[in-house]
Structure 1
Amino acid sequence: MDEQNIDPGLIHEIFKHVWTRTALEREKNERNEAPTDADLVIVGGAGTSKKNRPTSANSNALKLSAELIRIFISEAVQRAAAIAEAEGETKIEATHFERILPQLLLDF
């Protein structure tokens, strides 16, 4: 099988999307609650809230995350193909993935 790499830039964009959604949900929840001392962090002598700090990712962490996702997808396809082959199928269907997913998640 020809293995393709997943672009770390794509992973970074996905992470940024999740971080943005999480921050928006946190702000929405904070409107109903008073801030606590744990929400404040002292950085360089100046107080700043967690929601105002930019979230970033180390380039090595992005490369590692991309590789982990590539391995996860590859393993999922291989396991689903084995199930399909055992059933005499020539195509992998969604049901094959549904059957392997619980054990795959436990393995990772």
Structure 2
Amino acid sequence: MEDETTFDPDLIHAIFKLVWTRRALERQKNEGADALDFQVGAGTSKKNRPTYANANALKLSCELLRVFITEAVQRAATIAEAEGVSKIEATHLERILPQLLLDF
């Protein structure tokens, strides 16, 4: 099997951390709005628990993204070729996206 290039695990981890941080901030905003309705018991808040990614989970995420993007490009290229176009455009990706998401 060829050693294909994949995404940098540090990049994927940074993206995950960004998403986790944004979600934590949203939760804090929502908890502030809901604080008048009820009180949460001590230690039950998700914001107190650290979120981390296992090294193997990061490798798997990188591989999944690589396969997903490769498949998207191949399907879009097939559509472009059928239309007689030599360049993949956004419309080609838009056409393959629904089925691609169902397949994954």
Taking structure 1 as the reference length, what is the TM-score of the superposition? Answer: 0.85
Question: Could you tell me which of 55, 58, 64 is aligned with 1:62?
Answer: 58
How many Å separate the matches in 1 of 2:46 and 2:80? 48
Aligned to 1:32: 33
Mean Cα displacement is larger for which, 60-69 or 49-58? 49-58
Q: CA deviation at 1:40?
A: 3.1
Unaligned ranges ≥5, structure 1: 42-48
Distance in 2 between the 1:80 and 1:3 partners? Answer: 21
Deviation at 1:3, TM superposition (A): 4.2
In structure 2, relative to structure 1, the CA distance for the partners of 1:3 and 1:87 (3 Å cut) is farther
Structure 2 counterparts to residues 1-108 of structure 1, below 5 A? 3-34=4-35, 35-37=39-41, 40-41=43-44, 49-108=45-104
Q: Report percent identity of matched pairs.
A: 73
Q: Cα RMSD (Å) of the superposition?
A: 1.6
Structure number having the greater strand percentage: 1
Q: How many residues align?
A: 99
CA gap 1:83/1:3 in 2 versus in 1, 3 angstroms: farther
Runs of at least 5 residues in structure 2 that lack an aligned partner in the other structure: none
Separation (CA, whole Å) in 2 of partners of 1:106 and 1:64 = 20
Shift of 1:32: 1.0
Q: Could you list the runs of 4 or more consecutive aligned residues of structure 1 that deviate by over 4 angstroms after TM superposition?
A: none
Amino acid at match of 1:52: N
The one-character-per-residue Cα deviations of 1:28-69 (angstroms, maximum 9, x if unpaired) are 0000113434x734xxxxxxx320222100000000000000
1:45 alignment partner in structure 2: none
